[in-house]
């Protein structure tokens, strides 16, 4: 009976504290915001320009992440340097440009992270998924 009274008294104390505007439970630790690289695509209208469709940026932001563009024509070293600062990569769909080195480097980086038992997700939508299949097929063959 004593234990039941103690539990009821504790619950009442928490309820009183909440009514006064105080929260008796400890605050939650801050969550890390994921930074996701989205591979840019070459513009079909303007040569030497790239773009990232706003729908992909909004999709990442709706999930609580921050979108960062990954250049379609960046050097492997530049891409690798950026990947070290990201939490994942999105390979978008779109027109049919050739497989960029940035996509290959991103997938290889994710595979290396997996060997270290780390997580580095790569998402491919439509054409991006086709690139994933192509890259993994080439990787399996050792090319």
Class of domain 35-141: alpha beta
Instruction: Please state, rounded to an integer, the average pLDDT across all residues of the chain.
Output: 85
Name the percent of the chain lying above pLDDT 70: 80
Buried b (16+ CB within 10 A) or exposed e, 105-121: bbbebbeeeeeeeeebe
What's the rounded mean pLDDT across residues 107-126? 96
Q: Facing residues of 39 across strands?
A: 70
φ, ψ at 88 (rounded to 5°):
170, 170
End-to-end CA distance of the chain: 73
Question: What is the pTM for the complete model shown?
Answer: 0.77
Count other Cβ atoms within 10 Å, centred on residue 80.
15
- The domain locations on the chain are 35-141
Least confident of 25-39, 71-85, 119-133: 25-39
Q: How confident is the model at residue 143 (pLDDT cuts 50, 70, 90)?
A: low
């Amino acid at each position: 009976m004593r234990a039941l009274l103690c539990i009821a008294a504790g619950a009442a104390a928490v309820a009183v504290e909440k009514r006064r505007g105080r929260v008796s439970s400890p605050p939650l630790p801050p969550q890390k915001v994921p930074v996701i690289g989205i591979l840019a695509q070459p513009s079909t209208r303007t040569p030497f320009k790239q773009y990232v469709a706003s729908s992909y940026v909004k999709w990442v932001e709706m999930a609580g992440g921050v979108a960062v563009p990954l250049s379609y024509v960046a050097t492997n070293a530049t891409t690798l340097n950026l990947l070290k600062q990201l939490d994942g990569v999105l390979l978008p769909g779109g027109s049919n440009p050739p497989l960029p080195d940035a996509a290959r480097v991103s997938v290889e980086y994710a595979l290396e992270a997996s060997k270290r038992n780390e997580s580095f997700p790569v998402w491919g939508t439509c054409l991006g998924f086709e690139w994933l299949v192509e890259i993994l097929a080439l990787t399996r063959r050792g090319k």
